[in-house]
Structure 1
Amino acid sequence: MIDFKTFADQQIPAFESYLTEQLAQIEEPTLQKAMTYSVMAGGKRLRPLLVFAVLASAELPIDQTAYRVAGALELIHSYSLIHDDLPAMDNDDLRRGQPTNHRVFGEAQAILAGDGLLTLAFEWLTTTDLTAVQQSRAVQLLAKAAGPSGMVAGQIEDIEGQTKTLSLAQLKQVHHLKTGRLIECAIGLGALLADLSAEQSASLQIFAQNYGLAFQIQDDILDVTSTAAAMGKAVHKDAGDHKNTFPGLLGLAGAKTALTATCQAAQDALADLTGLDKALLNSFLNYFNE
């Protein structure tokens, strides 16, 4: 049985080669360097891997179309990190163990690199061999996940939440939007490529909702317990920035309990999934045990 780590080791090299080849086609040299810098700076490639895992679970090939669709999602993720690191936002100097984009290229160039990645993502979605209906649906999924109904809304709520103490329900809502929506989008794009049924897609969406929440709970925990060397970015910042976090609200032990419960809810959602090999997606939950 293939597991998360083995699957990642198999899929990431070819996917990153595809990203490198496609980004090399950007004609403006400064943009090309700045955009490529952040996309190819490493990272777990978790969102593309979730797209690929849905296809693998349906015993379907992971081809150039899958790379392009998953690549569009990764471009959106990379743009969001560039903008998130800016002085006006989180004011971070380190990302994935390297200087942040604005520290290397300057603030204006970093903003434009993020803008370029944002718009290139939708170009990629509309230049595949998918049908027009599938392309339209893919664009809709990604736009809704990344825009004012998803990630951007979550970012606003996160910023505004720094001036007050959020309830647990409010904190979950912030991260459902800010982090969870792109993870849900990954599963949704995989389901679209695999042409899954409404019932299968519904079970996968519940899995993705809980997976996204677990991802954020773990990130909050690691900000307390990990080191900058291990994380590749600054740690122990959340409290100083007056951010609402799961350890801040529940305590460290309570946050760890919430992480366990959320992972169990994701696993339970997969138990209701029929017609697919669930072993690989279940193994993605091992990510939270590393």
Structure 2
Amino acid sequence: MISKHPVDLVGGSDELIEQALRAAMGSALSPASPTHLRGALEAAVFPGGARMRPKLCMKVFNACGASQPELALRAAAAIELLHCASLVHDDLPCFDNAPLRRGKPSVHRLFGEPTAVLAGDALIVAAFKSLSRQVTRTPLLVVRIIEVVADAIGPSHGLIAGQSMEAMTHVPIDRYHQYKTGSLFVAAATCGALTGGGDPAPWAKVGELLGHAYQIADDIADTVGRPEALGKLGAVDTQLDRPNIVRSQGLDSASAKFYGYLEQIGDTIPAGPHEESFVDWLSQALCKGVAGAGKAGLIQQAALECVQPS
């Protein structure tokens, strides 16, 4: 059991998410695990960033009736571990060769490239191992959750497919955003609905729209953001000729699309007793900040920096 405490249906579950991540890591590792690998895994996951994906999972779970709290927390943790794995791999020399992540040296800079590759692999294993621990309790639901999460990182329309598109010369930007970023948001919302006892279809759409908005904000930040605000170096997409909506469509168009997606999200959220709470959380996360100024604040800052003389 991850926690003896019930999920907080009103105030959120940030502490429980961290407990679930620690539990998932603990079940994957043992004293026999090589010390340097343990260190790399710790650096990859803790301290984390905004934890937007697991928080989305738990907020949708709460909005849908909070039916299976243990499985919801495991799904939230699994999705975050997969996200962390993708960051470790994304930072590797063969991709972005990023020296910083979340304001600290990236995993491959701290522990070397081979260990970073294995750390990312280990996080993927840990994610699915944590989910599998629930299979004897609710087998059909756990199998469904595993399928949803696996599809979200898979080579068809998941994160791996999105990452592979960085090697293409001409990339459809919306599909790239949907695969690389939106897929995990869709999985988080879907898993939240499934474990909460709700209809996953409308929530999957919320996740899809949120994923688009989130990646647009990241594209804007990468184009004009400052390293001290980002916690990593900027202009990576330009330097490596990566797909970026600002480069292809301009800052004004990208910003307009961001706010357009936010409007669509508001229209898509299913009505219910927890609808207002979910909207308030989303507004706080995107516009006032889970970490720093929030995504909308980041866009406003980026727009100002773009027009100010250097």
TM-score range relative to shorter protein: 0.7 to 0.9
Displacement after TM superposition at 1:274 (Å): 3.4
Deviation per CA, 1:193-247, whole angstroms, max 9, x where unpaired?
01213xxx22212211111000000111111232111111111221121122111
Displacement after TM superposition at 1:19 (Å): 2.1
Q: Is the Cα contact below 8 Å between 1:102 and 1:109 reproduced in 2?
A: yes
Match of 1:134 in 2: 141
Match of 1:250 in 2: 249
Match of 1:277 in 2: 274
SS in 2 for 1:52: helix
Code of the residue aligned with 1:133 in structure 2: it is L
1:175 aligns with 2:177: yes
1:31 aligns with 2:37: yes
1:40 aligns with 2:37: no
CA pair 10-55 structure 1, distance change in 2 beyond 3 A: closer
Distance 1:61 1:33 in 2: 35
Q: Is the Cα contact below 8 Å between 1:8 and 1:49 reproduced in 2?
A: no
Displacement after TM superposition at 1:137 (Å): 0.5
Q: Is the Cα contact below 8 Å between 1:24 and 1:32 reproduced in 2?
A: no
After superposition, residues 253-264 of structure 1 pair within 5 angstroms as: 253-264=252-263
Deviation per CA, 1:131-153, whole angstroms, max 9, x where unpaired?
11011101100100011121101
CA pair 113-260 structure 1, distance change in 2 beyond 3 A: same
Deviation per CA, 1:4-25, whole angstroms, max 9, x where unpaired?
xxx9985223321332344245
Structure 1 residue runs of 5 or longer lacking an equivalent are 1-6
Match of 1:184 in 2: 186
Query: Superposition RMSD on alpha carbons, in Å?
Result: 2.1
Q: Is the Cα contact below 8 Å between 2:173 and 2:243 reproduced in 1?
A: yes
CA pair 48-151 structure 1, distance change in 2 beyond 3 A: same
Match of 2:238 in 1: 239
Partner residue of 1:103 out of 93, 109, 112: 109
Q: Is the Cα contact below 8 Å between 1:183 and 1:208 reproduced in 2?
A: yes
Match of 2:165 in 1: 157
Q: Please, what TM-score do these two structures have when normalized by structure 2?
A: 0.82
Deviation per CA, 1:92-137, whole angstroms, max 9, x where unpaired?
0100011111111111111111111111111111102641101110
Displacement after TM superposition at 1:42 (Å): 1.9
Q: Is the Cα contact below 8 Å between 1:23 and 1:32 reproduced in 2?
A: no
Deviation per CA, 1:152-188, whole angstroms, max 9, x where unpaired?
011111221xx34x4xxx1000110110000000001
Distance 2:208 2:21 in 1: 27
Q: Is the Cα contact below 8 Å between 2:78 and 2:128 reproduced in 1?
A: yes
Code of the residue aligned with 1:220 in structure 2: it is D
More off after superposition, 64-73 vs 233-242? 64-73
CA pair 19-205 structure 1, distance change in 2 beyond 3 A: closer
CA pair 62-33 structure 1, distance change in 2 beyond 3 A: farther
Displacement after TM superposition at 1:73 (Å): 0.9
CA pair 202-245 structure 1, distance change in 2 beyond 3 A: same
Match of 1:225 in 2: 224
CA pair 21-8 structure 1, distance change in 2 beyond 3 A: farther
Code of the residue aligned with 1:193 in structure 2: it is T
Distance 1:223 1:130 in 2: 44
Q: Please, what TM-score do these two structures have when normalized by structure 1?
A: 0.88
Partner residue of 2:155 out of 133, 139, 148: 148
Displacement after TM superposition at 1:285 (Å): 4.0
Identity of aligned residues (%): 32
CA pair 259-8 structure 1, distance change in 2 beyond 3 A: farther
Deviation per CA, 1:29-60, whole angstroms, max 9, x where unpaired?
33222112111132110010011101221342
